[in-house]
C-alpha cells in the first residue's frame, strides 16, 4: 500500500519476474505418465529413472537409508520398486528432484538455507509422525508436503534477493514472523509464491494445497486433513527448534484444526516420544543435498 | 565433485557417486579408486562419463545431523507472545517436558 501499487499489481510483477523458476527433471513427468498405465513394469520405470544418473544415485541412497526402512539392502532401482512399490519410489524421485533443483546450504546472514532445510525436513518428519499417530494414510505425501510447505521462501530468497533482504531487515527490526514481514515488504507471502511453483511444477493438488494453506488450514477444502497436519507439524517443529524457517517465532495453532484432529497433551506426548529417532533417520536428506 | 569424460580419467581417481548401468544396477560404488584395468572396462561398457571426487569433497561429506538446537531457555523466547493462548500453553508444556527428558537422557 505504501508503494502506491495495489497488491494485485505487485503480485503480478512478482509472478512475471519468477518465470525463470527451475523446472523439475523430465523423469518426474515421465514416471507419472508411466504409472498411469497399469501395464507399466518395474523395469520400465527403473530404466526411466536411471537415464538421469545423478538422480538415480540419490534415489538409491534414499531407499537404502534407515528413513525408508531397508538400510543398505537395495542395489537397483528396479529392486527398490519391487520392495517399496511404485508410489513410494515416485515420491522418492520427487523428493530427490526437489533437492537437486532447490536444495543446497549457504544462504545469507539473515536467511540461513541450512536451517531452512532443517526446518522443512523437520516439518516433514513431524508431519509423518502425526499422520502415523492419527492413522492418516497418506504419510509419504505428508512428508513431501512438509518438505515443500515453505518452498516459496527459497524462491523469494533466490529469485528476488533484494526484496527478500528487505523482508529480513523488516523482520529483524520489528522482531515479527517472517510472513508478516513478507506481507508488509513484498505484499505477497511465501505460501502464495510456493503455490505458483506448485502450479508450474504441476504438483499433486494435496501438495499444492499444503503449500498454499498451511497458515490457513480451514481453506484446505477436500485436503483439509493433509493441510491441517502440516499446519500443526510446522508449529511443533518450531517449538522443538529444529532448524528455522526464517524467524524464531511461532504462529498460533488453529483451534478448529486442534479440535477436529482431536489433539490433546497425551497425543502430543505420543508424537514427541518417537520424534528424536525419526529426525535422526532423516539426516540422510542432508547427505543427498 | 567433478563430472569428467571417460577418456580424461586418470589412474587413481575416486568415484564420488555410484556408477549406475542402464539396467539400474550399481556397476561401481562410490569411493572406488579407478585403476587402469577398470578404466578400460568402463570404456568397453560404453560409459560416457563418471563423477569423481575433488579436493573439496571431504568437507562436504561431513555428516550434518538433524541437531536440535533449542535448549530450555530458548523455548521461552520462541513462545514469548503466545503463551496466553490455552492451546499454545499445552504445546509449550509438552515441548518443555520433552526437551527436559532429552536433556536428562543425554546425561
Q: Are residues B40 and B62 in the same domain?
A: no
Q: Which chain A residue lies closest to B76 (C-alpha atoms)?
A: A239
Rounded Cα distance between A186 and A5, Å, is: 11
Rounded Cα distance between B14 and B16, Å, is: 6
Query: For residue A167, what is its C-alpha cell?
Result: 523482508
pLDDT higher at B106 or A121: A121
- Which distant-in-sequence residues (6+ apart) come within 8 Å of B12 by Cβ? B33, B34, B35
pLDDT at B57 over 60: no
Q: Are residues B29 and B47 in the same domain?
A: yes
Report in angstroms the alpha-carbon separations of A220 from A149, A212, A262. 13, 9, 18
Last residue in a domain, options B53, B73, B89: B53
Give residue B41's pLDDT: 77
Q: Is there a contact between A241 and B30 if contact means CB atoms under 8 Å apart? A: no
* Structural domain containing residue B94: 57-103
Which ipTM did the prediction report?
0.86
pLDDT at B58 over 70: no
3-state secondary structure chain B: CEEEEHHHCCCCCEECCCEECCCCCEEECCCCECCHHHHHHHHHHCCCEEEECCCCHHHHHCCCCCCCCCCHHHHHHHCCCCCCCHHHHHHHHHHHHHHHHHHHHCC
- For domain A7-288, the question of CATH label 1.10.3210.10 is answered with yes
B26's torsion region: left (phi>0), alpha (psi -120 to 50) or beta? beta
Shortest alpha-carbon distance between residue A44 and chain B (Å): 9
Q: What is the DSSP letter of A107?
A: B
Q: Are residues B47 and B64 in the same domain?
A: no
Torsion of CA B20, B23, B25, B31, to 10 degrees: -10
The count of domains in chain B is 2
Q: Is there a contact between B90 and A265 if contact means CB atoms under 8 Å apart? A: yes
Cα-Cα-Cα-Cα dihedral sign, residues A119, A146, A86, A137: positive
pLDDT tens track of chain A, all 289 residues? Answer: 445 565 446 555 665 565 667 777 888 888 888 988 889 999 999 999 998 888 899 999 999 999 988 888 899 999 999 999 988 899 999 999 888 888 888 888 899 999 999 999 999 999 999 999 999 999 999 999 999 999 999 988 988 888 899 999 999 999 899 999 999 998 899 999 899 888 888 889 999 999 999 999 999 999 999 999 999 999 999 999 999 999 888 999 999 999 999 999 999 999 999 999 999 999 888 888 7
pLDDT at B56 over 60: no
Give residue B47's pLDDT: 77
Give residue B19's pLDDT: 79
* Site of grid cell 536444495: A103
Q: Is there a contact between A118 and B66 if contact means CB atoms under 8 Å apart? A: yes
DSSP line for A248-275:
S--PPPPHHHHHHTT--HHHHHHHHHTH
Give residue A12's pLDDT: 56
Other Cβ atoms closer than 10 A to A3: 11
Give residue A107's pLDDT: 87
Q: Are residues B68 and B35 in the same domain?
A: no
Residue spans per domain, chain A: 7-288
Q: Are residues B46 and B68 in the same domain?
A: no
Q: Give how far the C-alpha of residue A38 lies from the chain's centroid of Cα atoms, to the nearest Å.
A: 29
Q: Do strands B49-52 and B2-5 pair parallel, antiparallel, or not at all (unpaired)?
A: antiparallel
Rounded Cα distance between B66 and A129, Å, is: 16
Give residue A192's pLDDT: 92
Q: Are residues B26 and B66 in the same domain?
A: no
Q: Are residues B6 and B46 in the same domain?
A: yes
CATH (domain of B42):
3.90.105.10
Q: Which residues of chain B are within 8 Å of residue A243 when distances are taken between CB atoms?
A: 66
Q: Are residues B77 and B40 in the same domain?
A: no
Shortest alpha-carbon distance between residue B67 and chain A (Å): 7
Report in angstroms the alpha-carbon separations of A122 from A150, A263, A282, B23. 12, 20, 8, 34
Q: Which chain B residue lies closest to A286 (C-alpha atoms)?
A: B64
Give residue B29's pLDDT: 78
**H or E element in which residue A89 lies:** helix A86-102
pLDDT at B107 over 80: no
pLDDT at B63 over 90: no
Q: Are residues B45 and B66 in the same domain?
A: no
Rounded Cα distance between A70 and A76, Å, is: 13
Give residue A265's pLDDT: 97
Grade residue B71 by pLDDT with cuts at 50, 70 and 90: low
Q: Whole-prediction pTM value?
A: 0.79
Amino acid at each position: 500500500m505504501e508503494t502506491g501499487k495495489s497488491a494485485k499489481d505487485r503480485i503480478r510483477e512478482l509472478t512475471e519476474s519468477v518465470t525463470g523458476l527451475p523446472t523439475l527433471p523430465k523423469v518426474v513427468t515421465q514416471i507419472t505418465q508411466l504409472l498411469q498405465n497399469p501395464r507399466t513394469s518395474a523395469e520400465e520405470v527403473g530404466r526411466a529413472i536411471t537415464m538421469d544418473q545423478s538422480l538415480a544415485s540419490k534415489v538409491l541412497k534414499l531407499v537404502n537409508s534407515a528413513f525408508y526402512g531397508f538400510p543398505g539392502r537395495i542395489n537397483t532401482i528396479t529392486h527398490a520398486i519391487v520392495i517399496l512399490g511404485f508410489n513410494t519410489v515416485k515420491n522418492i524421485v520427487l523428493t530427490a528432484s526437489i533437492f537437486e533443483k532447490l536444495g543446497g546450504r549457504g544462504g545469507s546472514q539473515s536467511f540461513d538455507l541450512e536451517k531452512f532445510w532443517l526446518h522443512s525436513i523437520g516439518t516433514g518428519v513431524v508431519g509423518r509422525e502425526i499422520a502415523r499417530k492419527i492413522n492418516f494414510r497418506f504419510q509419504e505425501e505428508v512428508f513431501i508436503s512438509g518438505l515443500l510447505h515453505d518452498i516459496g521462501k527459497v524462491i523469494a530468497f533466490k529469485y528476488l534477493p533484494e526484496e527478500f533482504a528487505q523482508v529480513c531487515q523488516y523482520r529483524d527490526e520489528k522482531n515479527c514472523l517472517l510472513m508478516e514481514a513478507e506481507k508488509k515488504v513484498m505484499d505477497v507471502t511465501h505460501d502464495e509464491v510456493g503455490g505458483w511453483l506448485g502450479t508450474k511444477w504441476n504438483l499433486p493438488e494435496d501438495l499444492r494445497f499444503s503449500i498454499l494453506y498451511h497458515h490457513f488450514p480451514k481453506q484446505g477444502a477436500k485436503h483439509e486433513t493433509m493441510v491441517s497436519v502440516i499446519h500443526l507439524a510446522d508449529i511443533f517443529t518450531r517449538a522443538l527448534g529444529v532448524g528455522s524457517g526464517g524467524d524464531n517465532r511461532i504462529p498460533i495453532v488453529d483451534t478448529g484444526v486442534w479440535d477436529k484432529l482431536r489433539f490433546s497433551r497425551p497425543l502430543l506426548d505420543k508424537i514427541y516420544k518417537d520424534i528424536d529417532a525419526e529426525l535422526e533417520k532423516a539426516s540422510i536428506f542432508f547427505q543427498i543435498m | 565433485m567433478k563430472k569428467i569424460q571417460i577418456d580424461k580419467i586418470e589412474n587413481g581417481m575416486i568415484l564420488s557417486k555410484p556408477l549406475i548401468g542402464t539396467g539400474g544396477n550399481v556397476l561401481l560404488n562410490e569411493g572406488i579408486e579407478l585403476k587402469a584395468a577398470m578404466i578400460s572396462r568402463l570404456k568397453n561398457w560404453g560409459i560416457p562419463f563418471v563423477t569423481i571426487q575433488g579436493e573439496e569433497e571431504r568437507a562436504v561429506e561431513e555428516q550434518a545431523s538433524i541437531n536440535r538446537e533449542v535448549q530450555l531457555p530458548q523455548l521461552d523466547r520462541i513462545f514469548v507472545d503466545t503463551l496466553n493462548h490455552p492451546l499454545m500453553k499445552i504445546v509449550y508444556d509438552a515441548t518443555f517436558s520433552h526437551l527436559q527428558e532429552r536433556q536428562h537422557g543425554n546425561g
